[in-house]
Structure 1
Amino acid sequence: MFRRLAKWLHRTRQSVLWIGSIGLLACSGAPVQSGTSDRLDPDTEIAPFVSELVSRHGFEPERLERILGGVRVRPDVLEAIARPAESLDWYQYRPIFLTETRIARGEKFWRAHADTLAAASREYGVSAEIIVAIIGVETLYGTRKGKHLVLDSLATLAFRYPRRSKFFRSELEQFLLLAQQEGFNTPKVKGSYAGAMGIPQFISSSYRRYAVDFDGDGVRDLLGSDTDAIGSVANYLKKHGWQRDGAVALPASVSGDKYKALVKKGMKPNTPVSDMHNFGVVVLYASDNESPGALIELTNKNDSEHWVGLQNFYAITRYNHSSLYAMAVFQLAREIRKRYSGVEG
């Protein structure tokens, strides 16, 4: 899901395992406002926020005051967001996700949910292996959904992290609306320290906007329903431009220096593949030379590799705004499909 979390993927192995996705915030070394209490101030923090939400949404003020009054400010959340990002190169990033465990569990997840994945693919046009891989990258198929209280995390960042207070105040508002709509036990919901939650690690605004009740039980349950998670991931990608039966990325080779201009353009596919040869780029397996693409450069230990990301690659980067993330999803998906289909090598 997520522009501002994209840079966080590069911090540590553990943070990547949790957020892979959720890619919504830009990590910064800006100072945090630590405060002098582990509780929100009832007059300067809680009261104005409650007034805003009552005015906009008709919340019961006493209930909001009670919920927010129970929040504990979490120093570990402030410390996590304040650490400068440590950029990982592709050769360091790839082994985090392309593991035997993640591939094997991906095959097992696919077999356990084959009918649901097939239904999601039919309805939304997204390949089953991509859905499986995203859930695998985000939470290891629902087994690592985060251990932070979402309410505490969002409130801490909304009121004690000025650098992103506007965004987190909005997400806290969205979380309270979401909890009301979906019947969550607000203080008990757990997720990442940035507030992403559930099997696919949606933040609150994305949960409200893109989650679907794919099992038809009347509840959009991304916290516990694999079926709803599968449908919601597929819906998210479709809403962000996924093209049915389209390729994701194509390997490429480069020569000279002109190709660097394409790399600098970023991840959005806006250069026709047929024009890339003018920049010293040879694209392999390009069946539709008029398709727009983006040249992606990945740094290995001793050299770099190049790929042309197509529209579906870009759709994956809308889940997490990182070419490393999208490539990890793509390559994990390929390995899971091979295993599922009984193809070796």
Structure 2
Amino acid sequence: MKKPRPYARIRGMRANHLLAALAALLFAAAPARAEWSSCLSGLRAAAAGAGVGQQTIASATNGLAPNDAVSFMDKQPEFTTPVWDYVAGLVDEERVDEGRVLLHQHSRALHAAESRYGVDAPTIVAVWGVESDFGKSFGKRPVVQSLATLACEAPRRNDYWRKEFIAALKVLDHGDIAPEEFYGSWAGAFGHTQFMPSTFLGMAVDLDGDGRRNIASSAADSLGSTANYLRRSGWRAGMPWGFEVRLPEGYSGPSGRKGRQSMGFWQSRGVTRLDGGGLGEGTAALLLPAGRNGPAFLVTKNFDAVYAYNASESYALAICVLSDRLRGRPGIQTPWPTDDPGLSRAERRELQALLTRSGYDVGESDGVIGTKTKEAIADFQSRAGLQRNGRAGLKVLNALRGR
């Protein structure tokens, strides 16, 4: 009997190792599948107990598997991006120009929303622009699947995600949103102005009068629902959200969104409007989104109403500044405290095109700074002698331009 050749033994060992590894993976996956199945059964039972019809539950959850929603939990740009990058990408000339067109195009619905809820049209349209780029970016993940995944697998807030999952099934059960329309963000927000399901149940309105509250396919319903949300969050008709101010040299007084004081108090501290004029009446808080060396704002309760939509000061500021731009007012006048300003979407597309021309694979030049673009930027920064951080700023764009 011939002895097996050495390479045959090695090949056999590799095959055995591969089979063992595969068996281990399958063994490890079995408990995960069992946990998912058990959790999903519990969610179905909770939905039934909340009054959702069995047909809706079965249709929405039969064969449901988890998706990648959990991986996005700590990557929300409004909390992880420098404020000057965040605002630059959301309040650019493209969004301002399109918003002004839509103000006229949807003037009838906006007038109805403003008359009913007391929220001005530019603010409503600004929310629309920031939330979904005026309906062009709803999100591509099935809402029910994302919320089931988060309810069962998220490392925290499982009770919240469970509540939203049940609310999502109620939305389907009521027939306001068709299953084929029910797509949204990783967190389950959906529609033109990105409502969570529980928010939809409590705040959505049928502004177009067709018998359905459909923020997925009716811009009018979305605009009306947003106005209703802001009013319920404390919006006061006729009150400005706030305005940019100038601080006295060496200011060391109080600041913070919750530290509301009278305008007289701020005036006594040397705070003035940019043009040197008086601050007016009422109360406001001093907002310093980039510290005392950056832009400063006195913000009213209406800023807080916008903040309630998504608890981020960068987010609320972007909406409020965009609403000012839609009214024909200037944007932020004081420079941000950085030597590397953020880029508009047009500039981000240019950056991607220049990276592609330089031999990098960044995919489509769409202005979205994803993993491929960040990796390409980081490599280019190293080659160009710039700080390697993968950030799409003006320095790397100018370097790509050859300046």
Tell me whether the two structures share a fold, i.e. TM-score over 0.5. Answer: yes
For residues 240 and 35 of structure 1, the distance between their equivalents in structure 2, rounded to whole angstroms, comes to 45
Paired-residue identity, %: 28
Aligned counterpart, 1:242: 235
Listed as ranges, the gaps of 5+ residues in structure 1 are 1-33, 340-345
CA-atom RMSD, angstroms?
A: 2.7
Q: More deviation in 319-328 or 250-259? A: 250-259
- How many residue pairs get aligned? The number is 298
Structure 1 segment 189-208 matched on structure 2, within 5 A: 189-208=182-201
Aligned counterpart, 1:12: none
- Structure 2 residue matching 1:247: 3-state secondary structure: coil
Task: Report whether the alignment pairs 1:252 with 2:245.
Answer: yes
For residues 302 and 228 of structure 2, the distance between their equivalents in structure 1, rounded to whole angstroms, comes to 13
For residues 337 and 72 of structure 1, the distance between their equivalents in structure 2, rounded to whole angstroms, comes to 46
Q: TM-score, normalised by structure 2?
A: 0.68
What is the letter of the counterpart of residue 154 of structure 2? Y
| Equivalent of 1:296 in 287, 291, 297 | 287
Listed as ranges, the gaps of 5+ residues in structure 2 are 1-27, 330-403
Q: Deviations over 1:218-263 (max 9, x none)?
A: 100000001101111111111111111111112222234432x323
Structure 1 segment 45-124 matched on structure 2, within 5 A: 45-57=39-51, 59-60=53-54, 64-65=57-58, 67-74=60-67, 76-83=68-75, 87-124=80-117
What is the letter of the counterpart of residue 331 of structure 1? V
Aligned counterpart, 1:327: 317
Structure 1 segment 175-324 matched on structure 2, within 5 A: 175-186=168-179, 189-255=182-248, 256-259=250-253, 261-263=254-256, 267-268=257-258, 270-283=260-273, 286=278, 288-289=280-281, 291-299=282-290, 303-324=293-314
- Structure 1 residue matching 2:119: 3-state secondary structure: coil
What is the letter of the counterpart of residue 57 of structure 1? G
- Structure 1 residue matching 2:73: 3-state secondary structure: helix
- Structure 2 residue matching 1:163: 3-state secondary structure: coil
For residues 82 and 313 of structure 1, the distance between their equivalents in structure 2, rounded to whole angstroms, comes to 25
| Equivalent of 2:141 in 144, 148, 163 | 148
For residues 143 and 187 of structure 1, the distance between their equivalents in structure 2, rounded to whole angstroms, comes to 17
- Structure 1 residue matching 2:327: 3-state secondary structure: helix
- Structure 2 residue matching 1:252: 3-state secondary structure: strand
Q: Deviations over 1:243-293 (max 9, x none)?
A: 11111112222234432x323xxx24632222124444335655643x121
Aligned counterpart, 2:122: 129
What is the letter of the counterpart of residue 131 of structure 2? E
Paired residues of 2:177 and 2:214 also in contact (CA < 8 A): no
What is the letter of the counterpart of residue 157 of structure 1? L
Q: Deviations over 1:10-31 (max 9, x none)?
A: xxxxxxxxxxxxxxxxxxxxxx
For residues 186 and 123 of structure 2, the distance between their equivalents in structure 1, rounded to whole angstroms, comes to 25
Q: More deviation in 107-116 or 225-234? A: 107-116
- Structure 2 residue matching 1:262: 3-state secondary structure: coil
Change beyond 3 A, Cα 1:65–1:120 = closer
What is the letter of the counterpart of residue 78 of structure 1? V
Q: Deviations over 1:47-91 (max 9, x none)?
A: 22223332332642x7525532322211x3222225587633332
For residues 66 and 218 of structure 1, the distance between their equivalents in structure 2, rounded to whole angstroms, comes to 23
The Cα of 1:109 is off from its aligned counterpart by 1.2
For residues 41 and 216 of structure 1, the distance between their equivalents in structure 2, rounded to whole angstroms, comes to 44
Paired residues of 2:181 and 2:216 also in contact (CA < 8 A): no
Paired residues of 1:142 and 1:198 also in contact (CA < 8 A): yes
Q: TM-score, normalised by structure 1?
A: 0.78
- Structure 2 residue matching 1:298: 3-state secondary structure: coil
For residues 145 and 281 of structure 1, the distance between their equivalents in structure 2, rounded to whole angstroms, comes to 41
The Cα of 1:326 is off from its aligned counterpart by 1.6
